[in-house]
Amino acid sequence: MTERLYLADPYLARFDAEVVAERRLGDRPAVVLTRTAFYPEGGGQPADRGALGEAKVVDVQEVEGEILHAIDGTPPRGRVAGEIDWARRFDHMQQHHGQHLLSAAFERSLGARTVSFHLGVETCTIDLDLSADRLRPAALADVEREANGFVWRDLPVTAAELSAEELAKLQLRKEPTKGMRVVAVEGVDWSPCGGTHPRRTGEVGAIAVLGAQKWGGGARVEFACGARVVALLRRDAGCLAEVAAALRCAPAEAPAAAARLAADALQRRKDLDRLALAVAAAEADRLGKGDGAVTEVLTPPEGADAAGYLRSVAQALAARGRTALLGARGDGRALLCFARPKGPGPDLGALLREAVALLGGKGGGAPDLAQGGGPQVEKLGEALERARARI
């Protein structure tokens, strides 16, 4: 049985141990030690990384009661010096303990219990047994404020194995599922946990709630703690500076400038759509002279939605009592739209499916209106001629 040094001292970054067995972890060699400061993945917390002598430790997992240290290369033998990646460990301690404080704040403020926790590479998430509708921005801000209050009070954090009698006296946030170790912040939170935690809440630094969304029957909350908050602020500030530079305004003015730009683009889109409809009506007037089905490859106006323009012309021809078998080229694809007056007539949906199959694409629709396309642009004319022959 490996002695788990990380439980007694989560700040221990260097240690000595004996290699007592060699195993396999996936496709890599792995070793078992007499004792280890490497935390094996579990409880939502990723495994530590580091080195055993000259060998790089790339994963640590507990398998059937053994802690396996996966090695990149040749596994070490005999007595070895171990060193964990301290920056990674401390980051995980900040995120994991921040999760405890945030979960306690959600339970205190909203009665929401945490059902799972995931510590990701950039951000973390907790899943709550609470409807996402209750997690409005104001509610999230209140919970974030309470959780940061626990951090900034710099409260002591303890972790200890307790007896069943001692556990029964505590208001545990969740029932223990493995072991009797409890991580406690007196007056704030008591939670069974085998992870690594700081000595005081202040080491978490800060907790930022980034958002919430519906997840299953409850809600998923995204957050970050400690140095990750600073990294996210730096990233977002850089993005905002780039946006402001593109909009030629100060960063604080970027939201209003972006809103004006979006409104202007929407108006231009509406104007363009109106012009495209007018052009489509004129095109239908031009093509609608004569008898029989109208078969034509059209050139949509520059900037117009090619598929939408094709549909507008086809529908305008159908409104004039004509059957339209129209094609166009747009975004590197061959586009088709078939339309006819409502009532008895050929099934254009089935006809179009045959035509787009020749184009290597897909599509369909109703007997009187169908649309689709495919990537084989060179076969557009052939597809239209085949459809015309079937009418």
pLDDT, the chain, mean: 92
Looking at residue 271, its pLDDT comes to 83
For residue 254, is it within any domain? no
For residue 314, is it within any domain? yes
Residues with Cβ within 8 Å of residue 303, at least 6 apart in sequence: 272
Task: Kindly state whether residues 79 and 113 are assigned to the same domain.
Answer: no
Quick one: pLDDT band at residue 174, thresholds 50, 70, 90?
confident
Looking at residue 347, its pLDDT comes to 92
CA distance 283 to 302: 15
Average pLDDT over residues 42-65: 95
Q: Of 98-112, 141-155, 160-174, 198-212, where does mean pLDDT reach its minimum?
A: 160-174
89: pLDDT strictly greater than 90: yes
What's the number of domains the chain is made of? 3
Task: Point out the domain boundary residue: 35, 65, 84.
Answer: 84
Task: Kindly state whether residues 80 and 94 are assigned to the same domain.
Answer: no
Average pLDDT over residues 288-307: 83
Q: Of 14-18, 91-95, 250-254, where does mean pLDDT reach its minimum?
A: 250-254
Average pLDDT over residues 348-367: 92
For residue 384, is it within any domain? yes
Quick one: pLDDT band at residue 305, thresholds 50, 70, 90?
confident
CA distance 357 to 363: 9
Tell me which residue range forms the domain holding 155. Answer: 90-234
Residue 375 in tokens: 């990537």
Looking at residue 74, its pLDDT comes to 94
119-149 pLDDT, tens digit per residue, is: 999 999 999 999 999 999 999 999 999 999 9
- E strand residue ranges, the chain: 3-4, 14-25, 28-33, 35-36, 50-52, 55-63, 66-72, 79-84, 114-119, 124-128, 158-161, 181-185, 189-192, 207-215, 218-225, 294-298, 324-330, 333-339, 362-366, 369-374
Looking at residue 208, its pLDDT comes to 98
Average pLDDT over residues 169-183: 80
DSSP string computed for 222-276: EEEETHHHHHHHHHHHHHHHHHHHHHTS-GGGHHHHHHHHHHHHHHHHHHHHHHH
Return the CATH number at 299. 3.10.310.40
Task: Kindly state whether residues 222 and 358 are assigned to the same domain.
Answer: no
Q: Which residues on adjacent β-strands are paired with residue 84? A: 50
For residue 336, is it within any domain? yes
Task: Kindly state whether residues 74 and 114 are assigned to the same domain.
Answer: no
Looking at residue 128, its pLDDT comes to 97
Looking at residue 166, its pLDDT comes to 82
Average pLDDT over residues 199-211: 97
Quick one: pLDDT band at residue 177, thresholds 50, 70, 90?
low
Looking at residue 302, its pLDDT comes to 80
Average pLDDT over residues 230-254: 94
Task: Kindly state whether residues 56 and 132 are assigned to the same domain.
Answer: no
Report which of residues 231 and 43 the model is more confident about. Answer: 231
Nearest to 388 by CA among 335, 352, 343: 352
Task: Kindly state whether residues 110 and 140 are assigned to the same domain.
Answer: yes
For residue 293, is it within any domain? yes
Looking at residue 185, its pLDDT comes to 95
Angle among Cα 386, 317, 294 to the nearest 5 degrees reads 30
Task: Kindly state whether residues 226 and 167 are assigned to the same domain.
Answer: yes
Task: Point out the domain boundary residue: 84, 100, 116.
Answer: 84
Instruction: Name the one residue in this structure whose structure tokens are 């649309």.
Output: 371
Residue 314's H or E segment, with its range, is: helix 306-319
Quick one: pLDDT band at residue 292, thresholds 50, 70, 90?
confident
Instruction: Name the one residue in this structure whose structure tokens are 């700081």.
Output: 198
CA distance 188 to 349: 65
Average pLDDT over residues 299-323: 88
Task: Kindly state whether residues 44 and 147 are assigned to the same domain.
Answer: no
Task: Kindly state whether residues 73 and 94 are assigned to the same domain.
Answer: no
Return the CATH number at 30. 2.40.30.130
Q: Which residues on adjacent β-strands are paired with residue 266? A: none
Task: Kindly state whether residues 381 and 280 are assigned to the same domain.
Answer: yes
For residue 304, is it within any domain? yes
Phi, psi of 46 (to 5 degrees): -65, 165
For residue 259, is it within any domain? no
pTM of the shown model:
0.74
93-122 pLDDT, tens digit per residue, is: 999 999 999 999 999 999 999 999 999 999
For residue 258, is it within any domain? no
Return the CATH number at 225. 3.30.980.10
Task: Kindly state whether residues 162 and 121 are assigned to the same domain.
Answer: yes
Task: Point out the domain boundary residue: 49, 84, 119.
Answer: 84
Burial class (CB in 10 A: 0-12, 13-18, 19+), 141: exposed
Task: Kindly state whether residues 50 and 98 are assigned to the same domain.
Answer: no
